[in-house]
Amino acid sequence: MDEIKFPSLPILMVDDEDHLLYSFDLTLGDAGINNTISCNDSREVMKIVSEQELGIILLDLSLPFIHGTVLLEKIKGEFPDIPVIIITGNSEIETAVDCMKQGAFDYLLKPIERGRLVGSVKRAIELRELREENKSLKQRIFDPKLMQPEAFKKIISGNEKIHFLFHYMEGIARTSEPVLITGDTGVGKELFAAAFHLLSARKGRFVPVNVAGLDDQMFTDTLFGHKKGAFTDAVKERGGLIETAVGGTLFLDEIGDLSIPSQVKLLRLLQEREYYPLGQDEPNYSDALIIVATNQDLFHLKETGEFRKDLYFRLNVHNIAIPPLRDRLDDLPILVDHFLTEAAGKLGKKKPTPPPELITLLATYHFPGNIRELRSMIFDAVSTHKARVLSLDSFRNYLSKRRSMIEHANPGQEKDSSEPLIVFPSTQLPSPQQSQIMLIQEAMKRTKNNQSVAAQLLGISRQALNRRLKQLKR
C-alpha cells in the first residue's frame, strides 16, 4: 500500500538553509506529519503557491532575494485561507508581531523547540481543515443533490432528516478530526460509519470494534497491540487494530462504556496521533480516521464524572445524530419493502405481498429497537408465511406481547416516554362516556380509520369497536 500522506494538503517549508529544512522535515515526520514540500529559494515561492493547493506555509523571514514579509503580504493577499507560520530570529520579534497583524497564523523563534513546531503545525492543520469543511458544508447543505449517493446505498431512507445528515457527511468527508455518531440502539450507527469511510476516499480498511466490556489492558492490546514479553502470554509481537486501520478508518462502537484509563489513551491518540503498544516505551503514530459511536448521553456521563471532559470536547467536533425510527415513520413503507425482499432472498421464499393494514399497524408502535427491531419482525413474519399475502398475525402477536411487557414494567406509561398517556384539562374533567368517545376517536385518527388496527390499539375486538362506532353515529 502506498504511504498515506498527512495532512491531505501539503505543507510548504520555506528557508534558505537546507539543513533547517531537513530538520523540520524530520521533526514533523516523527510526529506523523509527512506531507511536506521544501523550498530554499524565495523567488520560487509564489510559483509553487499558485500552481498547487497548499495546506500550510512555514515561512522564514530572513530570506535572500525576496524578504519574508513581502512574501507574506502577497500570500495573504492572493490566498488568504492558507495559514502562514512565521519563522524568525530573536532580533526580529517586532517584525514578527507586525506579521501577525498582517494575518500570519503564528511565529516561531529560532532555534525552534520540537514540541513548539509540531504543536503550531497541528493547530494550523486543524484551522485549515475547519475552513475547508465550512466551505464544503455551505455548498452541500443547500444543494439538493448528493455528490456521492452510492456511499449511502445501504442506508434505506427517504426521510428529510436522514438526507440532511447525508449532505452534512459529504460536507465534512475529508476531515481528519474524530467523528461522533449518536443514536438509540438499532438505528444503524455502524452503517453510517461505513458510509462515512466511503465518503472519505481513504485507501485503507474500515475496521469496526465494539469496546463495550473491554478492561484497560484488553482495550490497549486490542487497539494498540503488544511487544513480545509484554505480559505472561505475549509469546510474540502482535499489532493492534489501529495498525490494521492504517490509511483507513477505525470505528469504535459503544464508546460510552470505555473505562477512564482507556479514555486517557484514546484522548492521546486523538490529540497527538500517537499510541503505545503494551511493553513499548516509544510511541507509534497513526493516520487512521477515528469514528466513535454511542447510544448513551455523553453529556450526562461527563457531568457525573464517568466520561472525561477533555475527551468529550475532543470528540464533539463533528456529531452525526441519527433520529430514531419513531421520529421518521415515513420510512416504514420503503424499509418494509426492503426487508421483505431481503428476508425472502435469505429464506429462499417468494417475496410476499404486504397487506395494506401493515404500515398502519406498525405506525402505532414506538420501536424501541429501531430499524433492527423492524427487520427482526419482518424476518419472523416471512419465515412463517405460506400464502401470497403476508399475514398480520405475527405482527399483531409481537406488538401485543411488547405492549403487555411495557405495561407490566411501567404501569400506565409507555417505556422510554416521559409523557403521560392522558392529559386532563385543568378545569372540568370529562365524563366516562366522553372519555370513551375521545379515546375511540383518537384511535381511529391514529390508524387512519382502520377499525382492525384501532381495535387492537384499544384492546377490544373489532366487533366491539364497530358497535361503539355505530352508537356514536346515533
Which pLDDT band, with edges at 50, 70 and 90, does 415 fall under? very low
Tell which residue, 73, 58, 48, has the closest CA to residue 20.
Answer: 58
pLDDT at 452 over 90: no
The pLDDT mean for the chain works out to 88
Task: Give residue-wise pLDDT tens across range 64-102.
Answer: 999 999 999 999 999 999 999 999 876 667 787 888 889
Measured distance CA(452)–CA(342) in Å, rounded: 28
pLDDT of residue 442: 80
Tell which residue, 92, 90, 74, has the closest CA to residue 82.
Answer: 74
The count of other CB atoms within 10 Å of the CB of residue 64 is: 10
Which carries the bigger pLDDT value, residue 293 or residue 2? 293
Rg (CA), the chain: 30
Over residues 442-470, mean pLDDT: 77
The count of other CB atoms within 10 Å of the CB of residue 100 is: 12
Measured distance CA(53)–CA(128) in Å, rounded: 12
Which pLDDT band, with edges at 50, 70 and 90, does 174 fall under? confident
Over residues 260-272, mean pLDDT: 94
Over residues 203-232, mean pLDDT: 92
Which pLDDT band, with edges at 50, 70 and 90, does 20 fall under? very high
Domains delineated in the chain: 11-135 (3.40.50.2300), 150-322 (3.40.50.300), 324-419 (1.10.8.60), 422-474 (1.10.10)
